[in-house]
Amino acid sequence: MNYINSIVLGVVEGATEFLPISSTFHLIWVSKMLGIAATDFQKAFEVIIQGGAILAVVVLYWKTITTNSSLIKKVCVSFIPTAAVAFTLYNSIKDIFFESVVLQLLVFVFIGVVFILYEKFSKRRLGSNLSGLSYKDAVVIGLIQALAIIPGVSRAGAVILGLMFLGVKRDEAAAYSFLLAVPTLFAASGLDFVKILPDLILYKNLMGVLLAGFISSFISALLVAKWLIGYLKKHSLSSFGWYRVILGIILTVFN
């Protein structure tokens, strides 16, 4: 992997991690297009750039994280069922969906259709803020987020749509998805990081490439997260749904 590949994948991770379009799906396909093989270094690289996206949320929402204890408690409650489901089913899901291009594309397009249909027929237009979210709701959101272990679903998309279904405003739902990303991604990346830590010494000549990916992921995540909040105050998820459908069709035709 070279610096250009590193920066491209870092930008892809940072941008798509918080948009409802599935970062895992995009990393898989962009890596294919760049001709990057699924090596041990590639796995380590993906862990590092995910850390950049996590840091972006911490920086962006530091005040909320340190002052809004009630909301953070609910975020932690949401994380628990996600962790339980992921721990139990991750290997099975990985064996099925990560190896099947057809299933990845079907899931990616299907969720896009769900976005479009929900926005077209849902009567929940205004929505409430996060202060009305109960702990029971938080558990439900955690279970919904667990669906994101399937490539193509989108962790952010699942959480935002789930919260909208519960009556929360789009922009506040997005903010909650960002906050929930911190423990979720930290746990997943932390576990992977422990596994790859002994091998990092083997990649010391590629530390610059890792750093470039981390920084580009951090910057793109910071910019996209801030942009999405403003976008969802005035727009629906339909555009992301159509993006999924169109991209899914294109990839199916040219795959």
- CB–CB of 19/177 below 8 Å? no
Model confidence pLDDT, tens digit, residues 48-78: 899 999 999 999 999 999 999 999 999 999 9
Model confidence pLDDT, tens digit, residues 186-218: 887 777 777 766 766 777 777 899 899 999 999
Average pLDDT, the chain: 88
**Residue 23 burial by CB count (10 A; 0-12/13-18/19+): exposed, middle or buried?**
buried
The pTM of the whole model exceeds 0.75? yes
Which pLDDT score is estimated for 148?
A: 83
Q: Where are the chain's structural domains?
A: 3-254
Query: CA dist 133 to 54, 128, 142, 205, Å?
Result: 23, 9, 13, 48
Which pLDDT score is estimated for 98?
A: 60
125 by DSSP, 3-state: which?
Answer: coil
Model confidence pLDDT, tens digit, residues 93-116: 555 556 678 888 999 999 999 999
pLDDT category of residue 178 using cuts at 50, 70 and 90? very high
- Residue 199 backbone phi and psi in degrees, to 5: -90, -10
Is the predicted pLDDT of residue 226 greater than 80, yes or no?
A: yes
